[in-house]
Amino acid sequence: MSFNQPNSTKNIHKLSIAPMMDCTDKHFRMIMRKISSKALLYTEMIVAQSLIYTNKKENFLNFNNEEHPISIQFGGDDPLILKEAARMAQDWGYDEINFNVGCPSPRVCSGNFGASLMKDPEKVAKCINSLKNNCNLPVTIKHRIGVDNDDSFMHLNNFVRCIANAGADRFTVHARKAILKGLNPKQNRTIPPLKYDVVKKLKKINPDLLIEINGGFTDIDESLEALNDFDGVMIGRSVYKHPLRWSDIDQKIYKIKTKAKSASQIIFSLIPYIERHLSNGGESWDICKHLINLVEGIPKAKIWRSQISNKSIKKELDIEYLIKLTTRLEEMGY
């Protein structure tokens, strides 16, 4: 039975928070949900094969109900395994599935998935088709503008049209090519230069496709400008390192009449969640390693972060201490 559905406005997300390894876990996503009620959140990339063969699937799949809308990102190259992964994602309650064809990590590429798959659009099409035919969720794809020497516009456009024909609902395009040899993953986030014009051309000649731009956006105003040309904007490292700089997402992007929250308001609102996590055997650093990024650009911010970090890493941080330090922030107007 086929679950294929045509593209529709329901698959448009004006702003999304990129999947980032070791960053976008459920705790960071809870922090971001306090900042924006509307932005699309992503899991870290999950290797489909690892999901299928583990006995602890909940470690990969669990998320908090408050995180919706949320997309699960899969990496892989086997349509049969992705078939099972798609069914699990739907059964678990995710809002959509994203397929990773953009990660340049040597470990990922050695498994013949991630950015290396852009060199084999027919295989990617089979993977997308398998995901589409085994769930009723939107299936999207994240990719680069090219890989190594396969970086012509014709190659990119042919890749996108091939994947569109396989049923992809939305394309998130990182506007720089991936270099699989000679650069590490960190370098691949900044080298070579971004080429927004290439993605603009892709959208212009494919107006029927939903195309989201990714790469290098550092504030909301840049994102708003990009929305004049694209259906959506995906932001990554900037929102992870400086989450409060994005506190006006709902107001400016989604036109919701609400006040942006301060760092202290966000932390206070997370206290019940942190208490539950600790009572279930979790460690405070699981959350605080993300939480400390909320406090920057204010007097004694470094001291505040150091106090939280030291106590948390030593497993000495309790809720009372966190409330005490957060109250100091509140009294300072932060």
Catalytic residues: 103
Count the neighbouring beta carbons within 10 Å of the beta carbon of residue 296: 16
Instruction: Give SS3 for 329.
Output: helix
278-293-141 Cα angle (round to 5): 90
Gap between the Cα atoms of 322 and 311, Å rounded: 10
The two beta strands, 170-174 and 46-47, are: unpaired
Identify the CA nearest to 20 among candidates 290, 284, 240, 289: 240
The two beta strands, 70-75 and 96-101, are: parallel
Residue 243 DSSP code: G
**Do 179 and 104 form a contact (C-beta atoms < 8 A)?**
yes
Gap between the Cα atoms of 238 and 249, Å rounded: 14
Residue 204, exposed/middle/buried by CB under 10 A (0-12, 13-18, 19+)?
exposed
Gap between the Cα atoms of 295 and 291, Å rounded: 8
Count the neighbouring beta carbons within 10 Å of the beta carbon of residue 175: 19
Identify the CA nearest to 232 among candidates 242, 217, 245, 247: 217
Gap between the Cα atoms of 93 and 70, Å rounded: 9
Instruction: Give SS3 for 128.
Output: helix
